[in-house]
Structure 1
Amino acid sequence: MPKPIVVVGSLNFDYLIDVARLPKPNETLIGRGIRTAIGGKGLNQAAACAAFGRPVEMVGAVGADAIGQQALGHLTRKGVGTAHVRTLNDARTGQAHILVAEDGQNMIVVTPGANGRVSSADIDAAESLIAGASAVVVQLEIPLPAVRRALELARAHGILSIVNPAPADPGVLDLLPLADVVTPNELELMALTGITDLSDASLIEGLNALITAGARRAVVTLGSAGCATLAGSELIRIPAFAVRAVDATGAGDTFNGALTDRLIAGETVAEALRYASAAAAISVTRASADAAPTPREVDAFLAQHPAHTNGH
């Protein structure tokens, strides 16, 4: 049997409100509709990894409520194992309130609930699972001590680790010596490194800061500007694919799932980033955070688009 990807992270119930545009501070807007969905960066990344055909196991926590059971059922339907998702009788399942604008951009507020109770002990209970994994994927919607423990176990057992530092927390910088790959978006890169613009020089400075902090490789996602990484001292940009964005919610999670899949497959970083960018591009054309495409869909999409890797 192939080794599973182990995703350590959050499980949420999402409330998505459609708006014409995102509000300014202190501004009230009238929503155009509301949708609900199962989400959380951890759950979304686990579902994305599973969509690409690999076995996946989730480590996390939900409350003993109806939406927690829905989250577990959702993962099961996606083919994700939930034996290490703990159900807490004295906590509510995490919730996210998401504003989605016509151009696909979003604003998100997360109430952690049970996610905030994931502990190092929960991670230790999953050590044998982590020891036999192909990769460990973490985000920052659970407490940092639990994230640290997951990364410590991954490093101890020689397992590839992917750190998606979202939402941005300066404490993650202390964890980067345990990270094989760190994948902030542009706002997270700015918050973590202090860069103030997204010029080539600033991106090089920001990515180098993450590597200096200890990460073996740093990748930044840039929304409609694509993504970028470093090859030595050279900035490598992967332009975004031109699509009509409907909902960007979960695009970063799809990107991380696809990137993990391709790195496990042994692709070069440039190849993996192009594949992950294609997967994310497909996902933003769908009105859901649960929008990860299948490998067949990504392959068909890539066949319609010429290679477009630019070095700067």
Structure 2
Amino acid sequence: MSTDAEGDDVVSSGGRVTVVGSYNAGFVIDVDEIPVPGETVLGSDFAEGPGGKGSNQAIGVARLGANASFVGCVGDDHYGDEAFDLWAREDVDVEAVERIDDVATGAGFVIVDENGENAIAVAPGANAELHADHVADAHEQIRNADVVLCQLEIGDEAVGRAVELASDAGVPTVLNPAPARELPATILESVDYLTPNVTEARLLAGHEPDADVPNETVGHELLELGVGCVVMTVGEDGALIITEDDLERIPAPVVDVVDTTGAGDAFNAGFAVALTAGLDVTAATRFGCRTGAHCVTAREVIPGLPTREDLEGIPRPDR
């Protein structure tokens, strides 16, 4: 495992990331402007494909050269079949994925405007059936990982068991708190790296999503809830690394934005893979910013998740 001379890229990994999270069938409509409540707008295009933050991040990990294991649930329907076909193509270990009878596979509905901004609604479906016992059954995948990565499209019970098992085994944990919600202190106290965007950070800290509170203040409020380090993504401005003693700003590469959907998933995959390669939080965040930047240059999430070769076209951000 090594890094390049500048310390912001991963040359080789081979590490193991276990992702505990969701799979959703994705449905995307392109519009000129995202509608307000009660408004109907005509879209210009429609696409259907795989999604779910957990699955997206597991695929992102695998494409970057690490060993990806996914823990989750899908329905016993054709969307579940498509999920297993996808994971087989992407070389994601799915030994710990369970199919649930008489429950639909989760679904996500995305509206993307002409500027690449989006609005998303998710129906959990089988993801709601991922319980603590199922996560406990995946204890080998969790204990043998170099990093355990979770999101919040699954229930508190599953997230809590995953970070608890990882923490007990000395495995670093990354929690991407999306979609944001209030979490028990017992979960946050087992999180080494919390990776919210600015809206999620405010919601998790108990503010309104557009509250006029400095990002640094919000980050310290999250640290007070028990997490080890906050890595807050701030869109085109990159990311902030907030610890008890320091604040570091990591700029994002400048790219042409096509679709911001999935940028957070790409960031978290890159961040986790970099940690498995032994990079510190600064270098891991730089790498995550590059993987996130690649994602926004493509329409839809899966095409935007980069391989190592894809990243050769993404500039390193200025320091």
* Aligned equivalent of 1:48, options 45, 54, 60: 60
CA contact (8 A) 1:194 1:206 kept: no
Superposition deviation, residue 308 in structure 1: 2.1
Structure showing the higher helix proportion among its residues: 1
1:96 is aligned to 108
Distance 1:226 1:3 in 2: 25
Q: In structure 2, do the counterparts of structure 1 residues 241 and 2 end up closer, same or farther at CA, with 3 Å as the change threshold?
A: closer
What whole-Å deviation, never above 9, does each CA across 1:153-189 have from its counterpart, x for those lacking one? 0001111111000100102554110001010111101
CA contact (8 A) 2:79 2:105 kept: yes
Please give the secondary structure, in 2, of the residue aligned with 1:123.
helix
Please give the secondary structure, in 2, of the residue aligned with 1:240.
coil
CA contact (8 A) 2:15 2:273 kept: no
Distance 1:57 1:234 in 2: 33
The residue type paired with residue 318 of structure 2 is H
Distance 1:111 1:33 in 2: 22
Identity of aligned residues (%): 35
Correspondences of 1:163-202 after superposition (within 5 Å): 163-171=175-183, 173-194=185-206, 202=214
1:160 is aligned to 172
1:245 is aligned to 257
Distance 1:41 1:76 in 2: 18
Moved over 3 A (4+): 194-199, 231-234
Matched, 1:148 2:169: no
CA contact (8 A) 1:62 1:85 kept: yes
The residue type paired with residue 108 of structure 1 is I
Distance 1:72 1:107 in 2: 27
Superposition deviation, residue 231 in structure 1: 4.9
Q: In structure 2, do the counterparts of structure 1 residues 2 and 265 end up closer, same or farther at CA, with 3 Å as the change threshold?
A: closer
With the length of structure 2 as denominator, give the TM-score of the two structures. 0.91
1:138 is aligned to 150
Distance 1:54 1:158 in 2: 19
The residue type paired with residue 83 of structure 2 is A
Superposition deviation, residue 232 in structure 1: 4.3
What whole-Å deviation, never above 9, does each CA across 1:204-243 have from its counterpart, x for those lacking one? 1111111111111111111122211125443211122221
The residue type paired with residue 294 of structure 1 is T
The residue type paired with residue 314 of structure 2 is F
How many aligned positions are there? 305
Superposition deviation, residue 68 in structure 1: 0.7
5+ long unaligned stretches in structure 1? none
